[in-house]
Amino acid sequence: MKKIIAIILISFFMPVSCYGAFFKNDGKTPNVETSKGYVGTLPDLTKEHEPSEPAVSTPIFDKTQDFHSENAIKPIPRDNPTFVNIILKTDKKSPYLNDIQEIIDILEQIYDSIETEENVQRFASRVYYLNMSADYLKDKYEGKPESGYTSFKQIQTVSTQAQEVSTLRSDAEKYKRYLAYSDSGAQYSKNNIDVKMFNLKLSVEKTINILKNTK
């Protein structure tokens, strides 16, 4: 009877001892505790993966020349006639030539106005600017060598002629309702005005050619 009880006790304790031997920590397998998570030793990753050092670029040239060096920037050769006349391209036009260029533009507008039979008001305004420019030219160059130029005299002539035609057209527009009862009706007739306008166009064209050939 005692042997039977001993056998039963041995068989009862054997699974417990085997279970403990199976999960015995031999120093190689990490201990796991569900309440604390993983408590083993992690490998040192910094030894296997060292950070790469940044690449350092080297300059192509050992020495960079200073941009503001006295040897890099040479002074402008203003004493050299070739540089002054070609590179700088100085304006060789005199003030007089610049003035008559503006008058050429006004005369071309008057010529186009006659060609297109522009209304009296627009024609009169263009003639007004011509008269203002001619008076300015006269005040500026009166008594000077420029006042003896053919171009100067022609500008004064065509300016006076244009003013006369402009006044004639304006008066005809103003008094046209009374022309049939006036002795001077023929002066404001369409035929007479057309002749005056044609003659003015010829004078304007002549003046433009003279001014463009003035040097």
pLDDT tens sequence across 131-179: 999 999 999 999 999 999 999 999 999 999 999 999 999 998 888 777 6
- Residue 56 or 154, more confident: 154
Between these two residues, 55 and 187, which has the higher pLDDT value? Answer: 187
Give residue 22's pLDDT: 45
> Does residue 126 register a pLDDT over 90?
yes
Residue 107: alpha-carbon gap to chain centroid = 32
pLDDT at 17: 45
In the chain, % of residues over pLDDT 90 = 45
Return the minimum-mean-pLDDT range out of 76-80, 92-96, 117-121.
76-80
User: How buried is 118 (Cβ within 10 angstroms: 0-12 exposed, 13-18 middle, 19+ buried)?
Assistant: middle
The torsion angles phi and psi of 51, rounded to 5 degrees, stand at: -70, 135
Under 8 Å between Cβ of 34 and 40: no
Handedness of CA 148, 150, 156, 157 (dihedral sign): positive
152: exposed, middle or buried (C-beta count within 10 Å: 0-12, 13-18, 19+)?
A: buried
Dihedral sign, CA of 167, 159, 134, 156? negative
For 32, 85, 95, 138, the CA distances from 92, given in Å and listed in that order, are 101, 9, 10, 23
Q: pTM here?
A: 0.57
